[in-house]
């Protein structure tokens, strides 16, 4: 009977808006080197990456050519680097194995693309695959 009461009390706490309760429990249920990424954090970062990816794609395909939009392209690539860094701060495993598996290569590709465009003369070839990198993990969603 007392276990049921405790269980019901925990559910009531969670439902009553005690959002920090789940975070408090996680500190005891996951190892210290494990990084739990909240669903909202993943979604907002993915939206940010998608935005910059779309903008980057439009800039690369603009009528003026990528050379005319070079500065803007670099800005979007830097923003993508910063957004991806939010998900990979600790270097430890997270609760998103697909992100753990693919994020390091994505970050590397974005960095190489930015560095290639910053060189003289700029090379825009590496930026093209970055705009389609979302499809690699997400398919046609």
> What's 94's DSSP letter?
B
Q: Using CA atoms, how far apart are residues 130 and 18, in angstroms rounded to an integer?
A: 40
| Out of 22-31, 39-48, 61-70, 124-133, least confident range | 22-31
Residues 6+ apart with CB under 8 A from 15: none
| CA distances (Å), origin 2, targets 5, 6, 7, 9, 28 | 5, 6, 9, 10, 22
Query: Which residue is it, tokens 């993990």?
Result: 137
The predicted-structure confidence for 31-67, as pLDDT tens digits, reads as follows 666 677 778 888 899 999 999 999 999 999 988 888 8
pLDDT at 3: 76
Q: Which residue has the tokens 């994505």?
A: 106
Residue 80: what pLDDT? 96
Helix (H) or strand (E) holding 82: helix 70-87
Q: What is the CB neighbour count within 10 angstroms for residue 69?
A: 19
Domain ranges of the chain: 1-30, 37-138
Calculate what percentage of the chain has a pLDDT beyond 70: 77
110 within 8 A of 77, measured Cβ to Cβ: yes
């Amino acid at each position: 009977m007392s276990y049921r009461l405790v269980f019901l009390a925990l559910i009531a706490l969670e439902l009553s808006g005690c959002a920090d309760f789940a975070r408090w429990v996680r500190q005891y249920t996951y190892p210290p080197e494990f990084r739990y990424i909240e669903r909202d954090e993943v979604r907002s970062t993915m939206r940010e990456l998608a935005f910059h990816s779309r903008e980057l794609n439009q800039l690369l395909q603009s009528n003026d050519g990528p050379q005319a939009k070079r500065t803007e392209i670099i800005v979007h690539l830097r923003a993508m680097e910063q957004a991806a860094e939010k998900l990979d701060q600790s270097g430890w495993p997270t609760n998103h194995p697909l992100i753990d598996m693919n994020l390091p290569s994505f970050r590397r590709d974005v960095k190489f693309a930015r560095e290639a465009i910053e060189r003289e003369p700029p090379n825009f070839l590496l930026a093209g695959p970055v705009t389609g990198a979302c499809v690699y993990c997400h398919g046609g969603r």
